[in-house]
């Protein structure tokens, strides 16, 4: 399953499709556009790449991770779900 992250970098619209790898457990960029044009992660500076990957990880954890599910906290704390 892939997810879409949209942001603005240097006044340019950036759209990134990404997935969490089942093999490595790491976030992988599937596709990316900048202002609607094809773009690659390795075309960015190392700092830019690191910032984007941090933002993708935060997006995943905040919006798509099971750890963000309301029942997860209760289950982890032994509070039950019913």
Domain boundaries, the chain: 2-73
Residue 54 bridge partners (DSSP): none
Q: Can you list the positions of beta strands (E) in the chain?
A: 2-9, 12-20, 27-34, 37-38
Cα-Cα end-to-end distance for the chain? 29
| Strand, helix or coil for residue 62 | helix
Using CA atoms, how far apart are residues 47 and 37, in angstroms rounded to an integer?
Answer: 21
- Digits of tens for pLDDT over the chain (82 positions)? 899 999 999 999 999 999 999 999 999 999 999 999 999 999 999 999 999 999 999 999 888 876 665 665 555 566 555 5
Q: Can you tell me the distance from the alpha carbon of 15 to that of 7, in angstroms, rounded to the nearest whole number?
A: 7
């Amino acid at each position: 399953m892939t997810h879409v992250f949209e942001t603005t970098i240097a006044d340019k619209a950036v759209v990134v499709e990404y997935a969490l790898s089942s093999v490595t457990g790491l976030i992988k960029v599937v596709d990316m556009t900048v202002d609607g044009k094809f773009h690659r992660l390795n075309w960015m500076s190392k700092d830019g790449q690191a910032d984007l990957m941090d933002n993708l990880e935060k997006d995943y954890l905040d919006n798509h991770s099971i750890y963000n599910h309301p029942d997860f906290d209760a289950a982890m704390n032994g509070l039950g779900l019913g």
